[in-house]
Amino acid sequence: MSEPAAGSSRLTVGLAQIDCRLGDLAANLDRHLAWIERAKAAGVDLLVFPELSLTGYRLLHLTTRVALPPQAPLLDRLAEAARPMAVVAGFVEESDRGLLHNSAVLLSGGPRRHIHRKLYLPTYGLFQEERFFRPGRRLDLAPLPWGRAGVLICEDLWHPELARRLAVAGARLLIVLSAGPGRVGSGDVPASHESWEMLCRTTALLDTCWVVYCNRVGWEEGSFYSGGSLVVRPGGEVATRAPFLDEHLLVTEIDLREADRVRWRLPLLADERIDIEGPDAEDRP
Amino acid sequence: MSRRVLDHLHLNAPLAVAVLTRFIRDAVETSGTTGVVVGLSGGIDSSLAAALAARALGPERVHGFLLPYRTSSADSEADARRVAAHLALPHRKIDISPMIDAYFAIETDADPARRGNKMARERMTILFDQAKKLGALVLGTSNKTEILLGYSTVFGDNASSLNPLGDLYKHQVWQLARHLELPAEVVAKRPSADLWPGQTDEGDLGFDYATADEVLWQLFDEGLTPDEVVERGYDRAVVERIVTFERQFRFKRRLMLIARLSGSAVNLDQEIPRD
């Protein structure tokens, strides 16, 4: 593994479509370390794990027991093991104000840690996130050696203004961590995946950026996660896809310049207008 | 059955089987147990559950138990043996008559419902005891239709460690049973709890499973009100009976680990209080 050349826009992305042990930080750390070794052997530069990959998703009242501050030694171990790769993992973050967030951390060698706190916490159907987490308040670009990126978590992608704002601000890569419960209907793929693929492709089309979507697999409390992780090109074509239901390392070479070339042909972001007026607040439901 | 509802109930069968076999394998592996025990009645539900488990774990780790009472239908036992042979399961027959008769010798006034419940619970205690002996889990066989209607004996046939069928309507149980090529006799026969001679589910319920699945799907998955379902051409008395059953028997639902397949899994998407 070599350090990325200065100014290089090419990188190899690995999506670690793994299962997690609910509420077991040590077991999940071991699993991350094993997948980091596999990814290194596959020449990965940027390795992405699913939402809440270090803790499992459906924690309910276990949430407080697995919370970590952003300076936690466990995250140091992850960063050291990953070096020189950059790695993105999901965890329960306890902020310095004592609030709990559903967060993703980007560890890329240096002392700086980019953290994205999930902005939209689904609390409907089988989702109960607002009972246990506080929503984030900021959207930031993630600094990567290959260019600007944005990190979003699951439900965040269903609110398209977030991806749009990141793309307008210069992100050419969107990293989406997910723990999307699967459903089975009559279609060829899990019914839940049909929506996710549409969403990833639409985002890559409208925001003319790469979208890498890492969804987990396995079972929690009778509900399964369907996998089917995706890498989607700027413009919306699916570059690679992981299988459904089983653990998988999806390795894909991508070039962030491809987003620039698409944007020259399709200048949706350059044309974006923020000066359009109405409908006024009182017109809204 | 209405074409519209049928299209929604139809499953991608290979995918559903892939998901449900992983559910069983995951539950057995994470619990550190050796396999599952399942009561084989010769009916469609226990046959499908056993078939899924055999695929998930290999047949040698699925222990079938035939648990007849002396008035149970001989056809039921023959069908249960047919299924066990078809799936190559280790299986064993334990006659529950001595245990049941000993109790009802001192409870001489029991009606058929009490006797039926006692038999269902006797079978449950045997299955859990055999599970303990074998280091296995008890595989549940209740489907979504009967769970929603409360058509079961609480802590009897509805008791289990894991239930792969709990988010499948009866129509979907039949679909997967045909997909897995279970014996034709088992797929074709009319469902019965076989708690007394001549009993059928549809006779007990007062409507057929096709109607139950259609009405329940429209109420629970589509979100229609009972009046809206009636407006679509269903008998008001039947819809009201289904709604009443659903409300009356909610208390039976809270102890099951259900494999979620849809967006309307009982207890997960719909945490409905018992009262």
Tell me the per-residue pLDDT of A102-138, one tens digit each, with 9 for 90 and over. Answer: 999 999 876 678 999 999 999 999 899 999 999 999 9
Contact B245, B151 (CB under 8 A): yes
Q: Where are the beta strands (DSSP E) in B136-242?
A: 137-138
pLDDT classification of B272: cutoffs 50, 70, 90: low
pLDDT classification of B198: cutoffs 50, 70, 90: confident
Residue A218 has pLDDT above 60, yes or no: yes
Give the single-character DSSP code of B37.
E
Residue A214 has pLDDT above 90, yes or no: yes
Region B210-228: mean pLDDT is 96
A140-183 pLDDT, tens digit each: 999 899 999 999 999 999 999 999 999 999 999 999 999 999 99
Q: What is the reported pLDDT for A1?
A: 40
Tokens of B233: 């051409």
Separation between Cα atoms, residue A132 and residue B248, nearest integer Å: 32
A183, B18: Cβ pair inside 8 Å? no
- How many structural domains comprise chain B? 1
Judged by average pLDDT, the poorest of A4-8, A159-163, A239-243, B46-50 is A4-8
Region A179-207: mean pLDDT is 96
Residue A56 has pLDDT above 90, yes or no: yes
Region B34-49: mean pLDDT is 97
Chain B residue with minimum CA distance to A185: B11
B268, A126: Cβ pair inside 8 Å? yes
pTM: 0.91
Chain B residue with minimum CA distance to A191: B262
Q: By C-alpha distance, which of B69, B268, B74 is closest to B163?
A: B268
B residues 27..56 contacting A (CB < 8 A): 27
Residue A6 has pLDDT above 70, yes or no: no
Percent of the residues in chain A that have a pLDDT greater than 90, as a whole number: 88
Residue A278 has pLDDT above 60, yes or no: yes
Chain A residue with minimum CA distance to B15: A184
B262, A185: Cβ pair inside 8 Å? yes
Q: How far is A126 from chain B (nearest CA, A)?
A: 4
- For chain A, the structural domain boundaries read 10-269
Angle at A212 between CA A210 and CA A213, to 5 degrees: 140
Region B92-102: mean pLDDT is 98
Q: How far is B269 from chain A (nearest CA, A)?
A: 4
Complex ipTM value: 0.89
A219, B263: Cβ pair inside 8 Å? no
> A86 φ, ψ to 5°?
-95, 145
Residue B274 has pLDDT above 60, yes or no: no
For residue B170, give the CATH number of its domain.
3.40.50.620
Residue A17 has pLDDT above 70, yes or no: yes
Separation between Cα atoms, residue B66 and residue B80, nearest integer Å: 7
pLDDT classification of A2: cutoffs 50, 70, 90: very low
Assign 3-class secondary structure to chain A. CCCCCCCCCEEEEEEEECCCCCCCHHHHHHHHHHHHHHHHHCCCCEEECCCCCCCCCCCHHHHHHHCECCCCHHHHHHHHHHCCCEEEEEEEEECCCCCEEEEEEEECCCCCEEEEECCCCCCCCCCCHHHHCCCCCCCCCEEECCEEEEEEEHHHHHCCHHHHHHHHCCCCEEEEEECCECCCCCCCCCHHHHHHHHHHHHHHHHCCCEEEEEECEEEECCEEEEECCEEECCCCCEEEECCECCCEEEEEEEECHHHHHHHHHCCCCCCCCCCCCCCCHHHCC
CATH topology of domain A10-269: Nitrilase/N-carbamoyl-D-aminoacid amidohydrolase (3.60.110)
B261, A219: Cβ pair inside 8 Å? no
Burial B147-177 (b: 16+ CB within 10 A, else e): bbbbbbbbebbbbbbbbbbbbbbbbbbbbbb
A186, B11: Cβ pair inside 8 Å? yes
A185, B27: Cβ pair inside 8 Å? no
Tokens of B264: 């309307």
In a domain, B228, yes or no: no
Residue range(s) defining the domain that contains residue B20: 12-200
Q: By C-alpha distance, which of A116, A139, A122 is closest to A48?
A: A116
Give the single-character DSSP code of B207.
S
Total CB pairs under 8 A between chain A and B:
63
Q: What is the reported pLDDT for B193?
A: 83
In a domain, B219, yes or no: no
Q: Nearest CB to B260: which of A188, A218, A222? A: A222
pLDDT classification of B45: cutoffs 50, 70, 90: very high
Residue B150 has pLDDT above 50, yes or no: yes
User: Distances in Å between the alpha carbon of B36 and those of A93, B6, B90, B161?
Assistant: 39, 32, 11, 9
Choice between B201 and A197, residue whose per-residue pLDDT is larger:
A197
Q: Nearest CB to B263: which of A125, A221, A245? A: A125
B6, B261, B267: best to mutate for the A interface, most A CBs within 10 A: B261
Q: By C-alpha distance, which of B75, B49, B79 is closest to B63?
A: B49
Region A198-221: mean pLDDT is 97
pLDDT classification of A285: cutoffs 50, 70, 90: low
Chain A residue with minimum CA distance to B10: A186
B15, B22, B264: best to mutate for the A interface, most A CBs within 10 A: B15
Burial A179-207 (b: 16+ CB within 10 A, else e): bbbbbbbeeebbbbbeebbebbbbbbbbb
Tell me, yes or no, if B265 comes closer than 8 A to chain A by beta carbon: yes
Question: Which positions in chain B touch A125 (Cβ < 8 Å)?
Answer: 263, 269
Q: What is the reported pLDDT for B256?
A: 64
> B179 φ, ψ to 5°?
-60, -40
B260, B270, B272: best to mutate for the A interface, most A CBs within 10 A: B260
Residue B253 has pLDDT above 60, yes or no: yes
